[in-house]
Structure 1
Amino acid sequence: MRSRPLGATLVTVLASALLLTGCSGTGGTDTSDGTGGGASASTGAWSYTDATGATVTVDHRPERVVVINDLALSFVQYGLRPVGTFGQLAMAKDARFADLDTTGIAQLGVAYGDIDLEQLASLKPDLVVTSVYPTDGKGTLDTTQPGYGFKDQEQQKQIEAIAPVAQVKWGGEGKDVIEHIADLATSLGAPKATIDAAEQRFDTAQDALEQAAQQKDLSVVSMYADGDGAYVTRPSDEPVLQLYSSVGVDFVNPKPKGYYWGIYSWENAGQITGDVLLLSQQGYQVADLKKQPTFADNAALKTGQVHSWTFPALDYASQADYMTKLAGWLGDSRKLTS
């Protein structure tokens, strides 16, 4: 979950059993570009070529899978149940899990890089799935760095000694990432009918968001803030924002250079302007921003046009929910900037 910085490394680098809900998986086709995987019937071998080019092979379709929270959300939405999850936030503190049944999913840590290896081993996972972020706008992957959510290479090696690790690319066009995650979930046994129904909801929500964007012509800022300053997301570098931009939502591009984030010191935070503010669920919240002299007069903040940026997961269901909310927020907002 890249909804907040994690120091210089992130700025620059940026399922107990997988309970298959009574369905058989449909096989896919392995790819060599790290975007797809394939599986035979649950009694046969399963393989997946991940984003780093590594081919992960298991002698049966994985049934006990540990997944980073960004992807665990999608797996649950698609009818799969990870045995465990890890990431930047505990499920109890992550708003994205609020309406999902997380019964039986072990919490392996409560912060980035915090993974209880003994607990992980006790789950006897067949597979660990995480994500990997490009290091630049061209989509370059630095395979010398650990996968997202892992503290360092040593920790990743320890995890790989317990179960094979597959990494999913979290970059480029949002629709592509959604399709790749759906393909992976299908190969692990997610019901096709569940994914198809979610895709229909996605299409409806996308149309509603496009209409709202066209009708209101509002500028939107996505940002995280803490004591060091304000971090405005560059929409072309975040696949979720890229998806929304593709249907007409006008996201503000930060002035400071840099991949993914445009970083403003609090001295310069007054330069951040927009009609609607999407504020990360982590870090400073509205009350904190109002205490910042250089940001307290921000138009969106003063008029209450601030909404939570939960970093919605890249699956059809999660995106349908958030796009529906965003369309409503745009519809209820007014133009504040010229």
Structure 2
Amino acid sequence: MSDAGVWGFTDDRGTELTAVRPPERVVAYVRAGAALRDLGVTPVGVYGSGHDGGALDPVKAGELAAAGVPYLGPGRALDEEAVRALRPDLIVDVTYDGKSPYALDEAVAERLGVPLMVLSVGNELTLSAIIGRFGELGAALGGSAAPGAHQDPEVVLRSVAAGTDVTVLALSGAGPDQVHLARPHAWPELARLQELGVRLLDPGPGAGANWLTADWEHAARLNPGLVLYDSRANAVGPDAFPPVGHARVAPWNPETPPSPAAYARFFAELAASLQE
């Protein structure tokens, strides 16, 4: 709050946004919008990224579809008139580099005359810090969800991880001949899993800060006991990629909404998969 009667919030670029009252009509990138919905703030519309198509990816949507939130298409091909018709007073995107919005060209927000807020989901922040920042924004926008609900599943997951030697490989299928293997330190949620004792495998040296692109034989040579596969619509799922050795498979959404509820579900599902 900058002055009496003036709403304010500083985003993760260090940009302070102010208004005479808290924004009530929020348009958001789908990941941010799903998190805000979990936190008690329902967007009036959401848009996708360059990986998304004309329909809302149900894996990324969280509770948005059930709430009837309209999908406005990919951010780079957004129908600006459709956005304008929603009369938004705030746009919320994410950033991986702490500087640039990920899914929406900043010029679009400028043409619409709507302030653009950007929160970081990159590996310069811990998962807890990322979730905390979205919690702060949710509270500033009048959300009512209680913070901290993700802690109990972490306790369960830590206990399960301590009792198993199953190794885990996180990946994103690119096709029958190619796969992107996640570097655990580059993903805040994977780094958190390691802190909780999950035995995540590093794919080894090579190009790529977040992923090592390789063939499926390379993945199999890592000999994982469990594969976390990218379950988003733009990735190739286990019904279309070859077996990775004798590994079992479980879904992983690399764009899980940064909310306590969403990560509680993911950690609980992973704990169950490790125990199978």
Q: Which bin holds the TM-score, normalised by the shorter protein?
A: 0.7 to 0.9
Q: What's the offset of the Cα at 1:255?
A: 1.0
1:40-72 Cα distance to aligned partner (Å, 9 max, x none) = 89xx32222212222122221000001111111
Query: Matched residues in 2 for 1:179 and 1:206: separation?
Result: 16
Alignment counterpart, residue 57 of structure 1, candidates 4, 18, 22:
18
Contact 1:208 1:327 in 2 (8 A): yes
1:176-195 equivalences under 5 Å are 176-191=129-144, 194-195=145-146
Query: Matched residues in 1 for 2:167 and 2:55: separation?
Result: 31
Which residue of 2 is the match for residue 81 of structure 1?
42
Contact 1:236 1:242 in 2 (8 A): yes
Q: What SS does the aligned partner of 1:108 have?
A: strand
Q: What SS does the aligned partner of 1:47 have?
A: strand
Residues 1:253 and 1:314: Cα distance change in structure 2 (over 3 Å): same
Query: Matched residues in 2 for 1:269 and 1:247: separation?
Result: 23
1:297-324 Cα distance to aligned partner (Å, 9 max, x none) = 5221xxxx10111232221111111111
Which residue of 2 is the match for residue 254 of structure 1?
203
Query: Matched residues in 2 for 1:275 and 1:179: separation?
Result: 32
Query: Matched residues in 1 for 2:6 and 2:271: separation?
Result: 43
Q: What SS does the aligned partner of 1:62 have?
A: coil
Which residue of 1 is the match for residue 273 of structure 2?
329
Q: What SS does the aligned partner of 2:146 have?
A: helix
Q: What SS does the aligned partner of 1:262 have?
A: strand
Query: Matched residues in 2 for 1:328 and 1:39: separation?
Result: 46
Contact 1:220 1:249 in 2 (8 A): yes
Which residue of 2 is the match for residue 72 of structure 1?
33
Alignment counterpart, residue 169 of structure 1, candidates 120, 143, 166:
120
Query: Matched residues in 2 for 1:229 and 1:101: separation?
Result: 32
TM-score by length of 2: 0.87
- Match of 1:74, as an amino acid? A
Query: Matched residues in 2 for 1:130 and 1:297: separation?
Result: 35
Q: Name structure 1 gaps, 5 residues minimum.
A: 1-37, 135-140, 291-295, 333-338
- After TM superposition, the runs of 4+ consecutive aligned structure 1 residues lying more than 6 A away are none
Q: Calculate percent identity across the aligned residue pairs.
A: 25
Query: Matched residues in 1 for 2:226 and 2:134: separation?
Result: 29
Alignment counterpart, residue 262 of structure 2, candidates 297, 318, 336:
318
Q: What SS does the aligned partner of 2:168 have?
A: strand
- Match of 1:239, as an amino acid? P
Which residue of 2 is the match for residue 126 of structure 1?
89
Q: Greater shift after overlay, 266-275 or 52-61? A: 266-275
Residues 1:250 and 1:160: Cα distance change in structure 2 (over 3 Å): farther
Question: 2:103 aligned with 1:156, yes or no?
Answer: no
Q: What SS does the aligned partner of 2:223 have?
A: coil
Query: Matched residues in 1 for 2:164 and 2:201: separation?
Result: 15
Query: Matched residues in 2 for 1:65 and 1:99: separation?
Result: 16
Contact 2:183 2:211 in 1 (8 A): yes
Aligned residues: 265
Contact 2:30 2:60 in 1 (8 A): no
Which residue of 2 is the match for residue 95 of structure 1?
59
Question: 2:157 aligned with 1:209, yes or no?
Answer: yes
Residues 1:218 and 1:323: Cα distance change in structure 2 (over 3 Å): same
Q: What's the offset of the Cα at 1:268?
A: 4.1
Which residue of 2 is the match for residue 245 of structure 1?
194
Q: What's the offset of the Cα at 1:113?
A: 2.4
Alignment counterpart, residue 106 of structure 1, candidates 70, 78, 81:
70
TM-score by length of 1: 0.72
Q: What SS does the aligned partner of 1:56 have?
A: strand
- Match of 1:217, as an amino acid? D
Q: What's the offset of the Cα at 1:256?
A: 3.4
Contact 1:49 1:56 in 2 (8 A): yes
Contact 1:234 1:261 in 2 (8 A): yes
